[in-house]
Amino acid sequence: MDPGETQMNKLKNRVALREEGEYWNAYLAQINTMEDSLLVASIRLDIVYNDPIAKNAFMELAKHIMKNTLESIGAEVTRWDLKSAPDHEKKDKSGKA
């Protein structure tokens, strides 16, 4: 780490998208846990399922909100990696995470 670099600059976070009830919710979350996550945006699932343009716009909005939130506390967003949710967060066939 450079002498002028703080731990705040090295935060590892993600936008976590979750189907919850009738909504697709976007959270600012730590890499390997949803603990202490922050709900930043929500959209009805019927819109997501029926309108791919709205779905993509929502995902971009969630990323924009996350970037602004992190930058407001002095962190820098340097890249986006598209990944599936960690296995321990994925729903099983019963619909439970």
- pTM exceeds cut of 0.85: no
User: Count of CB atoms within 10 A of residue 82's CB?
Assistant: 7
pLDDT digits 0-9 by tens, 54-96: 999 999 998 898 888 888 888 877 777 666 777 777 664 445 5
Nearest to 14 by CA among 73, 71, 62: 62
**Largest distance between two CA atoms of the chain:** 50
What's residue 73's pLDDT?
84
Q: What percentage of residues in the chain have a pLDDT greater than 90?
A: 33
Q: How far apart are CA 56 and CA 40, in angstroms?
A: 16
Of residues 47 and 7, more confidence is placed in 47
> Does pLDDT of 45 surpass 70?
yes
